[in-house]
Structures are given as structure tokens and as C-alpha cells.
Chain A
Amino acid sequence: MVRPIAARDPDPSAVRAALAEVADPEIPVVSIVDLGMVEDVRVGADGIHVVLLPTFVGCPALDVIRSAVELRLRDFDRAVDVRFEYHVPWTSDRITPDGHHKLRASGFAPPAPVQADSPVLVQLMTPVDCPNCGSDRTVLESAFGPTQCRAIYHCTACRQPFEAFKPV
């Protein structure tokens, strides 16, 4: 196919900037870029290719995220190919500093760094700072929360329950 000279390929950084506006459907204060889900953006003659890393294999939001990405990139007037891949496993360490900040500001404790060699319970029992009052006098209530990526904690200082992103 011969394309008109004026139709320049979009800049991948512009595509990434657009992806930074695609919110996570389950925690809408953070985008898929904040979560570190965007592994690769490639612009070629055949369109825009986006490789995303699912946060959890069974995340029910993946189809919603795919549609949201396709919708947001429609402005670029190119075919859009969105793929979910596992060749790089997503881990909670991929959440950006900006993502941490936004999570905390909306009442979620960001995940502690993953300690691959220590038992998962030891990691979860490590106190996380309360996103409400900042105290580290917090205890794990349950390793399982309203979505696959969240655990429930209780702050003994301000006596509020809160959710934390699981280290995965």
C-alpha cells in the first residue's frame, strides 16, 4: 500500500503519552503506564503495536483495558494491535514512583518491594505505612481483598482499615 507522504508515522512517545491517559478500570486513579503494564510500543507501516503485561493472569479487566487502549489510540488513525504477553512477568515492582504517589493519595498503600526469597507471609506481615495517617503501626487483616491485586490492613494508630497493593 502506498501511503501519502504527509501521513507521518506517529511518534512512539506520543503513543505512550496517550496510554498514560488510559485508567486502570479497578483502580482508576492510576493509569496502565503508572502500573508498569506497558512493556513495548512500536509504530510501523502496519500500525501501532502495544504489548501489555497483565498484572494478574485472571484479571477480569483485561478486555476492558484492551478496548480502552484501542479507543484512546483511535486519534492516531492507524491500525492498533494490543497484545497481552507473559514473556516478562509483571511484578508490583514495576509500579512507577508516580503510581505510588497516586495510590497513596487515593487511600491505597503502594506495594512494598518484592522479596523473592522470603515467604509471602513474611512479606505481607511487614508493616506498610497507613495511607491515611502515615503510621507504620499497621497489621495485616487478610491477604485477599476486593480484587486479586489487593490485601486488607488495619491501622492501629488511626483505627482505619485500608487496602494495600500486594507485592507480587
Chain B
Amino acid sequence: MTVAALPAVALGELLRSMADDEFVIGFSDSEWTGIAPLLEEDVAMSSLAQDELGHAAALYGLLGKLVAANPDALAYDRQPGEYRHCRLLDHGRGDWAMTIARRYLYDSADAVRLEALAGGTWEPLADLVGKLIREERYHRMHAGAWLERLARDGGEARARLLLALRELQHDAATVFTPLPEEAALVGAGILAMPMAELERRWRATIGPVFAELDLPMPPATRQIERGRLDHGEAFRWLWGEFTAVRRSEPGATW
């Protein structure tokens, strides 16, 4: 597809939403570095965080070419209200159960989204997605194994998991917030189907897992059109952390 024929507005929104999702969950996961419940999990969460920040950098790179902006500026120089990550990622690090619940919901949704982008008509994104899918399989495996462990353990582990799922339930599906002008993406063959259809696919994927583990399925998100807006206090705190170095010396390079 030629650059002139691209639905640039919609494509920019798609790239920004995906990059911000990966960036924010990567930084959230890095909050466990040094303090995870097991040494292996300390390494695992740090490795997952490194993956996600790398994915974000690649996506900001594509966005930067599209809108002629510096990828670092896209990542670090916006105000908190200008980020377009989904509200599922807006709940603060929380405890281990919260981290696993969030990761499971996000990874399973991200997988459905990536599948809908693989083989798309805009090659720079389709090529990158092909590679991301290979790496994200490891993330899904990790979150899935822990979800099952916490759910089956009973006692405090299960109780905390249920609390986490309850806190996240109204934002669980916000990965699938409809994008502005997304019909243009579907029309151009960049995205295989609308977000609402992807959400149905996601529910069909996680439904059997939740049923098997006797966990409550998240309800439909009210006002899903605002699912990537209205970031709260937890994100403002995280934003303060991840922009601290950048803001301490504007324009510095090393």
C-alpha cells in the first residue's frame, strides 16, 4: 500500500494505542524488579518488561515515521492526558494477584488484536506484528500458568485473585476500545475486523478458561468509547516515574 493511500489518522491512532499499551504495561511490570515474590519471577517480570518496552519502541518508531516525530518525544514528552493506553492498565501495580490478573486480561486481548493485524496490507506493521506474535506467546504462557495456579490454590491466593478481577472487571475489555475512524483501517485491510468483533473473539477465547477455573467473566464495559481516556491517579504517578529522568534535563542526550 502506498503512503498516500494510507488512512493516516486512523493508522496513527492504532499505532499510538498499541505503543502506549505496551509502554505502560512494560513500565508497570518493571515495578517488580527487585521485589517480586520469587527470584525467578523477579527475572521473569524484568524480562517481560524489557520485551514490552522494546515492542513500544518499535511501534513508536513506526508512528514517528508516519507523523514525522521523534520516537523518544512520543514516548516521554506528552502530558498524562495525551496517552492512549487502555484503562485496564490504569490500576497501579497492586499485589501479585492484581499483576497476574491484569497481565492475563491484557495478554489474551493483545493476542487477538495482533492476530487481526498479521497479514495486513501495511507491510511495516504486518512485518513487525509477525515478530511480536512469536515473542508474546511466552507472555501468555507465563500469565496463563500463574492465573491457573492462583485460581486453583484456593485460600488467600484465590481470594486476592477474585478481588483483583473485580477491581479490573469494568475495564477488562478496554483493549478493544473502538478507534477513531477504525472503519478506514478495516476498509484498507490493515485491521482484519472492527474492535467490537475482536472483543467477541477474545471473550470466546477466555470464556472456557474462566469457566474451567470458576472465575467470573468480566461484564461489558460501559462507555467503552472512553476506554482509552480519563487516566486516573495511578497513571499520573507512573507517568511521574517514567518521565522523571527526561524532565530533569530537557533535551539531554547521551
Contact = CB atoms under 8 A, between A and B. Distances in A.
Given A58-B55, A119-B141, A144 B131 contact: no
Contact of A58 (B43, B51, B140): B51
Interface in A48-93: 54, 56-60, 85-87, 89-91
A56 B48 CA distance: 12
Interface of A: 54, 56-60, 85-87, 89-91, 119-121, 124, 141-148, 152, 166, 168
Given A58-B57, A142-B43, A145-B43, A168 B145 contact: no
Interface size on B, as a range, is 20 to 34
Given A152-B43, A168-B134, 19 more contacts: A56-B135, A57-B51, A57-B54, A58-B54, A58-B58, A60-B50, A89-B134, A90-B131, A91-B134, A120-B141, A141-B40, A142-B40, A143-B44, A144-B46, A147-B47, A148-B51, A152-B40, A166-B138, A168-B135
Mostly, the B contact residues are helix
B132 A120 contact: no
Contacts, number: 74
Given A119-B141, A120-B141, A168-B135, A144 B127 contact: no
Contacts of B135: 56-57, 148, 168
Contact of B127 (A86, A91, A145): A86
B129 to A, nearest CB: 9
B186 interface: no
B142 A143 contact: yes
Interface in B179-198: none
B122 to A, nearest CB: 13
